[in-house]
Structure 1
């Protein structure tokens, strides 16, 4: 490997909320841990896959919901920083953590290292409405979107909408409390929309978006790390083959595919808004008009980031650590054709996609290499722990996700 990380500067995986089976955190612990960087993580208990990694120096068991008072969370982070005892790079794995760090930079700047960013920008990017407004302002294609403020607004939208439409929660953070909809919900008729909307209360916390037909669309991802001047130190493009729930959930199977047009779009947008740090973007290519439409902008590390590594051995988490410790980030081409598989959700996703007949035209016929989310020969315990925690409750959860997805798609039948 043509670089060495600063082993005197540890890193802390910051996650809020209860989601112990998070392969992205495990991937970050392994990525930096293999370079000799001391790794710490916030975990729900002492027996999560992340807590069992051989590359973890210490797990800080701290149960949170992600809805606690910001002052409480900041004080908890500072307490952890005092226990580590030296400047530590923060690696947020969810929007709650990314937003908290950005909005409390001055309080956290002593014991922690992180990219400086406009304090309100991560919250705006995590919001569906905030992101859409930035896309409109900077001329970035996005699905046509409406933001109803009342039930009457939903009725007015339904009168002129072209169905099917998609409903999403307006703010990312509501997933920790009482979301109006469970993830991305496809609604096929006016009656189905109005039936759902009656449960949304006086102020619907949703956005209503045009539906991009699966048969006419492709799902793409961009992962990158941008330095303080919004210059990309590492930028990668890939295509989703499968997700769970189908077409609307977490990446289950993806490939690295070179896409200069997409890379240029992402770089220009990030420079325009002035973001600094790791980004995880979801875009859908609409074959009907030939545009890449931005669906999600995650201002933090994405769970599937280990899909992407340059020929010089750099991924976005390594780029973050190198840059914040004053070391150059070596250039290198991405490993085109490499694939990423999330073992515990790719099998049900595979079965669902085969039944639908959906295929991804840009997926290579044969992978040049495979990165598994959980299983690693040099670090087997996270995989074993995942299996032990996943089998019974995990299968039940997958079934519930599938049922929720099916109910959302078939709303018109009950409308």
Structure 2
């Protein structure tokens, strides 16, 4: 009989993010992760590096808690510590709100419930940015009942997004988007009317649109230990975004980039607000004033965070060093420039909108300094490889249909 392991990763969700974390654990420790999910989706199917636990209606709070308690009974004799990782905001929220019940059984590397309520509620989040001197786009808070034909303090185009993304997630209405880029008053009025015709009643965030295409976006990932100290920061420059309507805003190409000024600013911010665990920050460079402006702070690693592991900073390592080994390691700042991609090579090259960046992308492919989350050489059985190839082949038609050149 095998001995008890020091730890087991318990990953909530089964998407690209979940697989990327399972791959990081397998690469670093040769360990199989437990994936807790509602059902089977491609990223974690036909995989030898995950052990799936399926629970129907897992995203309902009471079902979630009971499922996690049942799982603990099953796993408690297999490992000394069970490390919980969330692959999306919803699972992070469920874990945080259930902390009192789950903490005796699991390690929960997440922020407090009170801080979560401030961070995910964008209206309050931008107040925090103001307090800590972070640059963010010019913003107006729009409340239900206000005049949708009102004059704004900045010109079109504007961005419209929900202040409370969690309640917005459950709202259903025609033409729903994660966020809107609107070019005139008529489309602005129509979008607001449509949103408030649904169950969503909270504030909307109206922002000045920062000019520039995908390649002026930056994504910053960090890990903050249980004592509130930042242990890792890794910045990436976005090469290309997904143009599939339901996936708009997700990145499909990122190249590592060093920026010590950004590292210093956001290290101070995360430590000052009492952050814990994985952070994922979206920034956009504004050529009008030369500043990097924050859009949001996600309370878990991002869907494309395998770019961090690709660049040599294994995402699993920091969590294990913190919660299992209780190490006091020096902070690591990302300085490498390897390429992570989520679409086929030729598509990425074809659709990259910055010629200088395109040359870098080609160079990384030529040097072999690239990785794609789901194509893990140690986990590519025939069926898995076939299904992945079929899925990614579909991207050719998607880009042909949906790609739009941006400013």
Same fold (TM over 0.5): yes
Matches for 1:349-360 after TM superposition, within 5 Å: 351=350, 353=351, 357-358=353-354
1:131 and 2:131 aligned: no
Q: Is the aligned partner of 1:222 residue 2:244?
A: no
Q: Is the 8 A contact 1:166 1:209 kept in 2?
A: yes
Q: TM-score, normalised by structure 2?
A: 0.83
Range moving further from structure 2, 380-389 or 189-198: 380-389
Cα distance in 2, alignment partners of residues 159 and 333 from structure 1: 40
Number of aligned residues: 385
Map of 2:43 onto structure 1:
49
Verify the 8 A CA contact 2:281 2:298 in the aligned structure 1.
yes
1:73-84 to structure 2, matched below 5 A, reads 73-84=64-75
What's the RMSD between the two structures over aligned residues? 3.3
Q: Provide the rounded CA distance (Å) in 2 between the counterparts of 1:196 and 1:310.
A: 39
Query: For residues 347 and 127 of structure 1, do their structure 2 counterparts lie closer, same or farther at Cα, with a shift above 3 Å needed?
Result: farther
Map of 2:252 onto structure 1: 252
Would you identify which runs of 4 or more consecutive aligned residues in structure 1 move more than 6 Å?
none
Corresponding residue for 1:199? Answer: 194
Gaps of 5+ in 2: none
Q: What is the deviation of 1:316?
A: 2.7
Asked whether the 8 Å contact 1:98–1:122 carries over to 2, the reply is no
CA distance in 2, matches of 1:277, 1:62: 25
Q: In the alignment, which residue of structure 1 is the partner of 2:183?
A: 188
Q: Deviations over 1:270-295 (max 9, x none)?
A: 01211010111111111211211111
Which has the higher mean CA deviation after the structures are superposed, 170-179 or 298-307? 170-179
Deviation at 1:184, TM superposition (A): 2.4
Q: Give how far 1:116 is off.
A: 5.5
Residue 142 of structure 1: aligned partner: 136
TM-score by length of 1: 0.82
Distance apart, 1:71 and its partner CA: 2.5
Q: In the TM superposition, what is the alpha-carbon distance from 1:359 to its structure 2 partner?
A: 5.1
User: Equivalents in 2 of 1:401, 1:178: separation in Å?
Assistant: 25
Offset at residue 160 of structure 1 (A): 4.4
User: What's 1:31 paired with?
Assistant: 24
Which residue of the partner structure matches residue 316 of structure 2? 317
Unaligned runs of 5+ in 1: 1-5, 410-415
Judge conservation of contact 2:237–2:255 (CA < 8 Å) in 1.
Answer: yes
Q: CA deviation at 1:335?
A: 5.4
* CA distance in structure 2 between the aligned counterparts of 1:49 and 1:290, rounded to whole angstroms: 38
2:169 alignment counterpart: 175
